[in-house]
Each structure stands twice: as structure tokens, then as C-alpha cells.
Amino acid sequence: MAPKDEAHQIISSYFIGPKAENIEFFRKNLNRILHELKNTRNQYHKDDESFITEDTQNSEKFQTAMKNFSEAVTKAASLLGQHSIPFWSPRYQGHMCSDLTVPGLLGYFMTMLYNPNNVALEASPFTTVVELKAGQQLCDLFGYNIDPNWKQEPLAWGHITADGTIANLESVWVARNLKFYPLALFMAIKEDALWFVADRFKVTTCLGDEKLFRDLSVWELLNLKPDTVLGLPDALSKEFNITGKYLEGVMQRYNIQTAGKECLERYFGINRPFKIFASSTRHYSWPKSAAIAGIGSINLHGIEVDLDGRVDLEDLEAELNRCVEERQAVYAVVAIVGSTEEGAVDRLQKIIGLRKKFQNKGLSFLVHADAAWGGYFMSIIEKRPARLPIKKKIGVPRKKIEGFVPSLTLKEETVDDFLALKHTDSITVDPHKAGYVPYPAGALCYRDGRMRFLVTWSSPYLSQGSRENIGIYGVEGSKPGASGMATWFSNQVIGLNTTGYGRLLGEASFTSARLSAHYAAMHVSEKNEDENKHRYFICIPFNRLPSEMETDSEEGDPSSKKVADKVAEKVENERQWIYDNILPKSNDEISQNNDLMQFIRKLGSDTNINAFALNWIREDGKPNEDIEEANYFMKNVVDRLSINTTDGDPTKIPLYLTSTKFEPELYGKSAQHFMKRLRITPCSQDLFVLRNVVMSPFPTDGDFIGQLVDYLQEVIIQEAKRVRERNKAGRYYAKFLMRGTGEIFLEYLPSFYRATGRQQVIFQASLDEEAKKRYVQLQSSHKHDRFLLRSSEKIDIERVVENGERFKGKISIQQESSHDMKFENEFECEVQVGDIVISRPLNSTNRDQDYPQQFTPFYLYGSHSTETHSRETHISHMLLKAPNISLSSRNISLDQDLADIVDEHLDEGLILVITNAREACMHPFPGTNKELADPFFFRRWQEHDRHEYEVKVYKDPKRVPDSSMESRRNPFAEGPGLLDQLGSPLKQGTMKLTGEVYVDVELVHEDPVKPTPLPPTNWEDKLQEIKDVLNGKYHISSSSS
């Protein structure tokens, strides 16, 4: 067998295996570790007698305790296995989790038995050294200098943290302290014992001018280059024989960690907060870090992302130019190397170029690379001397063998950005992500190791010996030596090179690209199965296909609908080509064809994360345009492919995916463009997006990926049928609230999630004589109860209302306090639809972005007083945004002056707002009616309560006069913006809800096709069995074990 053919076999030895294929090898190594543990304990002071004697071990109590304990272990391990997510399986494509490397597991296990604490050398002499070596491994991987004899570059330093969040926090802490260090030193020279250096101590400014330190302006102090700042103590030592210990003592009272940021800002007259720049889609740890460091998350400025999810360099440069013009200092620019949601790598090489460009303008800042996910992908790149070009290697072609998976390298433009890592100031990387080692294992690497001294509370100059107490640096105190050991041992065994981790991640990259090909051509395959039927869905990868990128650049504005329509045919042809030329091919066939390897490398993201979205197709063949229904569709798909409750059974899910949201506020033009590609009307709502992370090197051989995609497509089609049913127009049973007696109005009970329910409709209605007589009689004796009218037959509500048709119904009474659907005194009626009062659609495109901030608005309608009937006015809550709450009341009472004004303008269309109840403040409401607050703000006036509302009444700005409707005003209008141009109120006053009050949060959100939730399994109760086992009250049967 050729050496190249052995690569995948070697990688297969790094894991226990999806079917525990290597469990015996793993067990043998565990036994070796336990054997060494026994030897270690026995070798320590051999003369000591045994503390646990054979007599003790043979005693009944000991034997019983050990037996019970063994059974408890079996029970706990069994429950853990049954209810854990199968990260080890290639079927798991969800988060950044996978089978762990055997070296990582063994390294952690062997160290855990000794429980070293890397906070101090005395508690971890071995693992302190190991952690430092792990830091050196990672620094070397990124191109930092770890050779103390190489003086052309600063000596790098790295250490293990709990995770990337801690590493990012430490980097922010360092950036803050570095920025303020020159200010603190300036104060120490001007105000304290360092005054004697003032006349001679010179530094080089950001612009290259040599000046006396005391003569530097505040702007110049804030923009000294990092190397200059870090070299200030050394310069003072060389020129003035000032020791580090002495300098530390003098600086202590001025240091930002002692004096605080505000003190230094006040002394130097700084009134503009410094900024950190990162892409708007950055990880949540960044605003958290800014908050903890006292910088404030508002000063973490989000830079727009481009259509590929990378930081928009034009926007970044514009912000940096603004900072130069406004003299606003910048702590750091953060480059994301492998974004969590999209796997995107920011154009780091160009960001490094911007740093140089702005240093020439007098603005200096750190560049930090958040490579928590992407850092280990550096191992894919073949290390070569800087003066030689990088070998452009797409993949490793090999002859077909059993279990063959090709390896794929990084995209050509991404390679340049990874190579630029060596020019960053610091790097976050998570070995517990793409390093496949157990949690917790993050890491932070400094290009200049002196940066770590900025975040220490103990003097590094007092360290005894050649080794350091790692715990004095950074955020953490106690930290497990096992994490450092797991990282170092896995790196050492597998290798941070192209034949080790590079090969492993390269094989995963090939799998990721093949999956991206499936996503790109998935709905093509559905079409090809039956050309006589319409598709059920379309699947659009976030990362654009080559034809999309070419056409977008050629045709101009890629976000315009015109361009999207123009490129559709070209893109569809490329999808068909992928279906014909990529999907049917074996790994071997693809790897042997350089053109196919070149093409497949262009698919998907920069670092093995595939974000994609779905949209469903209507029965008429047209794509859905409503983002809410697209989101509903995708969420149902993901819910079928993930665990979102403790009652879920992880063994019942054949394929795991996960999801995220593209928030327009964060994703901007990228989200809008993605919506257009999905044929969804662009809007300000979040877009639900599916994603998978590929880490396993195993799934592409033997068409395993094809099987997974077939299952995914099956689920998608099933959910597309469900969402079609939910959105099917036509005839349905309808429910109405009944209002008034002199003139009867029917208020349709809407639902945001039923096709025909997405409308707010109120209309005047006539009842047959007998039904009306009975209804009026019942009203007089049930003034506070709810009158409901339900259609006896299915009706098309839109057609019935618009055409003024008749339909049959049933009137019933519901008790005032009832939350269920129990009806009394039910009787039949015939309804004639009359004049329409209000007709407003509730589709997502017709809703406002925000809830009303200043009041809670209602439609106000009713009838004038006549000789036979008194005036009746009613209100119905305006549903401007979802989710929401239905609020309605009949026969309200207004103060006399307000009532007169209302009576005068009632036919013109009115809006009443409650000003002492601000709607935005009250959202979200509970999910069920029974959970609503008691007393609720919207309640009937009673003597013991006497609850009144402050209200204002306006003319409805959308009820414009309609010449075709005689003197009445047009009731039809579409949002959003139904309250825009509300104008001045006609009158303000008070209101009492003296009649029936209707409150509902259930029907308005009713989903007619909502999946039935799984019955609770109550498996948590089995944890009690472990306690019973330990107490000898429960024994595990042989079958259960």
C-alpha cells in the first residue's frame, strides 16, 4: 500500500470510532494509565504500610458498599449514554462537537487522576510545563516566534484558558491596559518619583518622530505602537537603571488597574470613549468582554458584513478614518477567523494592511484574531519559508481504497488570511473545537509575550527559577492541568501539520464541500424525480455559488430584485450541473479529476460550516414570499433534527442539524440579499437559517452523506406539506365576537398563523328576526358574558365579507371568567353581512417592526343613539406586530365630553389609545390565558375596583374618504404604518370597561398544523434509582445492565 493511501487509516486510529471500533485499544491504554497510577502510588514512600487493609476490603460493609457503588456506576453510565447527544457519530452535524481524539481523552484522563491545579507551580510542576509547551505549539502553528535566540521577532507566549470567551476577555483586558499604560507612565513622570527622567527620556511616535516622552500630546500617547509601549520598561531600565520592581511600585497608584479608567480619562481630559471594532456578527463574548472590562458594549462598534459574512473592509476603513478625524482612540480591531455561524474568515491580510496605513496617519491599535473555531485550520497549510511561495494544493488524489476520503485544502484567498495570522498581536483559539480535545480548553497566544505582564497582579520579576506561575496571568484562578495536558498530548501525537491535524481537517473539509453541493442541488433532485409536479421547496446555501458571485459582480447591485431575477436561470443551470457532475460521483472519481476538485473547493464556507436556508413552494408553483412562514417551515425542520427538550430521545434522530438567526440589524445587506435569493420579500425581521458543522472525517465514503441528505429531504418535504396546509386559502369555520344590540357588529377572531385568519375584520351584520330577538333578550341578562357566533359551515371569510354574503351560524354564551370553550344557550341563526368597518391584513409584511411605545391602540366603532336604542361603542385592539394579544370590549363607557365627540365622528373611523398603558412595556405576554396577570390591566370596571383608563381619540389616518362608498370612508388599509400620521387627538378623556371584556393570547396564536408534542418520558425520575442503589434498595437486573 502506497504511503498516501495510509493517511485515512492513521486518522482512523485517532478516535474511539462511531461504533466504538477502537474501544479495545482505548481500554488497553486506560489500563496502562491505571497501571502507572498504581505504580506511582506504591513507589511513593514504599515503607508506608497499607492504609486500606485486606480485612477492610473483605468486610461485609465494604463489599456491600462496593457492590452498590458498582451498580450505581452502571446505572449512571447507562442513563448518560441513553440521554447524551451522539457527538461521536457522523450523523451529528450540529454544533462544533465531534468524537474526541484518543490522545486528548487519554491526556485528560491520566492527568485528572492527579488533579493538578495550574494556578501555581507548586500545585502543578508537570502540567505547568506542559501548558507552556501547549502554548508554544499553538504560537508556532500561527507563525509566532518561539525561539529565544531569534531576535528579529519578539518571543511569543501562549496559555490555556477555559474557553474562547475567557481568551477574548483577556485580550480586551490587555488592549485596555496597553492603551492606558503610556498615560499612567506620563503621570508617574510628571507627578511622582520618575520626574528625573523627564528631560532625557525619548520615544518614537506612531508617525516615526522621536520626542521627549513628557512632550507627547495625549493623542500621541494613546497611539504609540504596541512594540513601543511594551518596550517602555526595558528602555527605562537600559537608560536609567530603573528596575522592573521599582517601576512597578511607582506605577501602582497610576496604573489603570489601580486608578481606574475614569481617573485617567479625567486627568487627561479625554471625553470620547475609545473603540473596539469587530464585525457586527461577532461572537457574543465580545460585548460581554467589553462590558466586564469597563469599556461598555456600546463601544464595541459593529462593522457591517459583506454578502459572504466577512467584515466589510470599506465600512471598517470609513470608521477608522472617522476616528482619525475626530481624534477618537481605538483599542483594537478584531478579525474573525472562522465565524461561529457561517465559518467565514475575515480578510485578515487586508486588515493588517489597514493597520499599517492608519499608523502612518497617527492611529495605532492592536489587531486580535478570534480564531476560536478557525485556528486549527492553519495546520492544513504547508509550512514553508516566508520567501518561498505557498504551494497551491487543492486536494490529495489517491487510488480507490476501502474507507477512502480525500483531503481538501483551504480556499486560495483564505490561505493568505491564515498566513497573516503571524502579523496579529494576539490570537484566540479553542482546542476543544477543531482540536477535538475535551472541554474546557481554550487558548490565547501573544505575538509579544510581554503583553501578558499587563494583566498580572503579581510581579513577574519575582518569579523564582526559570519557570513561571501561569496563574498570575489572565482572568482565571484555579484551572485544570488536565486541559493543558489534553491539548499538548493531542497536538503532539497527531501533529499540527499537514499530515496530522491538517489531514484530519482536510478530510472534514471535503465532507463539508460535498454537503454544500447537496444543499445547492437538493431541490434540483426533487424536480428531476417528477417533472410533472411543482417542487415543494428550494434550498439555498448562504455561500454563493461561483455563478452567483460572477453575475453579482458583473450585473451591478447584487441586492436588487432585477439582478436576482436575471441571474436565476444561470444559477439554476449551475445547480443542475452540480446535480449531474458532482452528486453521482464517488470520492475517488472526484479526487482524480482536478477540475472537479477545483470546483468543489469553491463551494461552502471558508472553514467547514454550511449555513443554508429553505423556502417552501406553494401548490401553484410560486415560492412563498412571507418570511414568517419561511421561518416557521425551517424551524419545524430543525426541531425534527435536534433535541430541544429534556424529554427528547437522542437515539431517535437520524441526522442532527442546528440553526441560527440572521438579524437584519447585524447582517444588514447580507441578510437582505439572502432573503432575495430565497425569493422572500426583504424585510426587517430575523431570518431563520439552518447550519451544520462538519468535523467528522468519516461520513463521505460509501454514500453515507447521500443517505443523510435523502433523510433530510424527506423531512423537508413533510414539513413543506405541513406549512402548505397552514397557508391554504379557502373555506374554514369562523368565530366572531358579537357587539351591539341596536346595530349588531361581528368582530372576527383572527390568528396570525392561519392563512384565512391573518386579518382583522369588523363588519355590521343583520340576523334573522327570530335569532335577533333571542340574542337581544339574552344580552339584557348577560351583560358581562361573552357572545360568540360561529359559522355552522365552512366559509371563505374574505369572499363572504367583501361580497356581503349570507351564512348560517350558531350563537352561544361564554361565561365572563371562562378560559375554555364551554358554550351555553346555543341557538342557530342566519347572518347577512353588511357594511365593513375595518379590514386590515395581518401578514408579516403588513406588521410594524416595533410595538407602540407611548400607548395601547384600539379601533373604536359602534352605533349612534336612536329613538329605540341608546348609543353603543366598542373597542378592538389593533394587532400591529406579532406575537400579540387580542383585547376587545363592548359597550364601553366614555366621559360625556369625549362621548359627544366620538358620536360626532364615529362614521369617519376612529382610533382610541390608552395612554396610561404602554403596549411595548407589556410585551411579551404569557403563552396561555391562565398565565395572564391577575388583575390584568384590561379589565371590567367594578365598584370595588373602579378601574379607569386615560384615553385619547384620533381619526383613523388610513380611513380616507372613498367616492364609491357615498359618505362613508374606506375601511380597507394595509400596514405597516397604520398609525403613521396619526395627527392630533380629537379629544382626550377617561374610559371605563363597563360591558363584556375579551382577553386572549391563545386563539390569536393558534397553529392549525402544530406538531403534537411528545409525551413526557420522566426519565429524570430514574436518577432517584441511583440513590436507591447506593442505599441497597434497588438492584439492577442483568437485562438492564
Q: Which H or E run contains 788?
A: strand 786-791
Q: Under 8 Å CB-to-CB from 99, ≥6 apart: which residues?
A: 15, 16, 17, 18, 87, 88, 89, 436, 696
For residue 697, is pLDDT > 90? no
For residue 1039, is pLDDT > 50? no
Please compute the mean of the pLDDT values over residues 562-571 and round it to a whole number.
Answer: 73
- Greater pLDDT, 323 or 572: 323
**CA nearest to 267, candidates 188, 193, 345, 349:** 188
Alpha-helical segments (H) within 868-907: 896-905
Our separate counts of H helices and E strands in the chain read 31, 27
Q: What is the pLDDT of residue 141?
A: 97
For residue 556, is pLDDT > 70? no
Instruction: State the pLDDT confidence band at 112, using cuts at 50, 70 and 90.
Output: very high
Instruction: State the pLDDT confidence band at 1027, using cuts at 50, 70 and 90.
Output: confident
| Among the ranges given (553-557, 702-706, 904-908), the one the predictor scored with the smallest mean pLDDT | 553-557
Q: What is the pLDDT of residue 466?
A: 45
Instruction: State the pLDDT confidence band at 944, using cuts at 50, 70 and 90.
Output: confident
| Among the ranges given (111-125, 393-407, 892-906), the one the predictor scored with the smallest mean pLDDT | 393-407
Strand partners, 997: 889
Rounded Cα distance, 175 and 451, in Å: 9
Rounded Cα distance, 814 and 465, in Å: 84
For residue 1035, is pLDDT > 90? no
Q: Note whether 373 and 607 are within 8 A (CB).
A: yes
Q: Note whether 367 and 423 are within 8 A (CB).
A: yes
φ/ψ of 990, rounded to 5, equals -125, 155
Instruction: State the pLDDT confidence band at 104, using cuts at 50, 70 and 90.
Output: very high
Please compute the mean of the pLDDT values over residues 779-788 and round it to a whole number.
Answer: 90
Q: What is the pLDDT of residue 401?
A: 35
Please compute the mean of the pLDDT values over residues 962-984 and round it to a whole number.
Answer: 78
Q: 434-457 burial, b for 16+ CB within 10 Å, e for fewer? A: bbbbbbbbbbbbbbbbbbbbbbbe
Q: What is the pLDDT of residue 1014?
A: 73
Please compute the mean of the pLDDT values over residues 118-146 and round it to a whole number.
Answer: 93
Q: Which H or E run contains 658?
A: strand 658-662
| Among the ranges given (206-220, 378-392, 779-793), the one the predictor scored with the smallest mean pLDDT | 378-392
pLDDT, tens only, 195-251? 999 999 999 999 999 999 999 999 999 999 999 999 999 999 999 999 988 998 999
**CA nearest to 967, candidates 907, 909, 910, 904:** 907
- Greater pLDDT, 266 or 564: 266
Instruction: State the pLDDT confidence band at 469, using cuts at 50, 70 and 90.
Output: confident
Strand partners, 539: 614
Sort residue 296 into left (φ over 0), alpha (ψ -120 to 50) or beta: left
**CA nearest to 908, candidates 856, 855, 954:** 954
**CA nearest to 598, candidates 610, 613, 584, 581:** 581
For residue 823, is pLDDT > 80? no
Task: Sheet with 442-446: list strands edge to edge.
Answer: 157-161, 442-446, 426-429, 366-370, 330-336, 275-279, 300-303
- Greater pLDDT, 530 or 398: 530
Q: Note whether 144 and 445 are within 8 A (CB).
A: yes
Please compute the mean of the pLDDT values over residues 778-807 and round it to a whole number.
Answer: 92
Please compute the mean of the pLDDT values over residues 294-315 and round it to a whole number.
Answer: 96
Instruction: State the pLDDT confidence band at 644, using cuts at 50, 70 and 90.
Output: confident
φ/ψ of 192, rounded to 5, equals -140, -155
Q: Under 8 Å CB-to-CB from 683, ≥6 apart: which residues?
A: 627, 664, 675, 844, 845
Q: Where are the domains of the chain?
A: 164-429, 501-726, 735-766+831-1005
Q: How many CB atoms lie within 10 A of CB 911?
A: 24
Rounded Cα distance, 356 and 362, in Å: 10
Q: What is the pLDDT of residue 397?
A: 40
| Among the ranges given (211-220, 464-473, 891-900), the one the predictor scored with the smallest mean pLDDT | 464-473
DSSP 925: P
Task: Sheet with 997-1000: list strands edge to edge.
Answer: 893-894, 987-992, 949-955, 910-914, 856-863, 872-877, 886-889, 997-1000
Averaged pLDDT score across all residues of the chain: 89
Q: What is the pLDDT of residue 463?
A: 35
Please compute the mean of the pLDDT values over residues 378-383 and round it to a whole number.
Answer: 89
| Among the ranges given (381-395, 534-548, 634-648, 689-703), the one the predictor scored with the smallest mean pLDDT | 381-395
pLDDT, tens only, 948-972? 999 999 999 998 665 554 445 688 8
φ/ψ of 541, rounded to 5, equals -65, 145
Alpha-helical segments (H) within 447-500: 481-494
Q: What is the pLDDT of residue 1020?
A: 82
Q: Cell digits for 313?
A: 473592509
Please compute the mean of the pLDDT values over residues 650-657 and round it to a whole number.
Answer: 91
For residue 576, is pLDDT > 70? yes
Q: What is the pLDDT of residue 560?
A: 59
Rounded Cα distance, 305 and 308, in Å: 8
pLDDT, tens only, 589-622? 888 899 999 999 999 999 999 999 999 999 999 9
CA within 13 Å, CB half, 1036: 23
Rounded Cα distance, 611 and 519, in Å: 10
The pTM is what? 0.90
Q: Under 8 Å CB-to-CB from 425, ≥6 apart: which residues?
A: 226, 332, 366, 367, 368, 446, 447, 448, 451
3-state secondary structure of 666: helix
Q: What is the pLDDT of residue 886?
A: 97
**CA nearest to 300, candidates 314, 310, 285, 313:** 285
Instruction: State the pLDDT confidence band at 399, using cuts at 50, 70 and 90.
Output: very low
Percent of the chain, pLDDT > 90?
A: 73
For residue 55, is pLDDT > 70? yes
For residue 919, is pLDDT > 90? yes
pLDDT, tens only, 406-420? 778 888 889 999 999
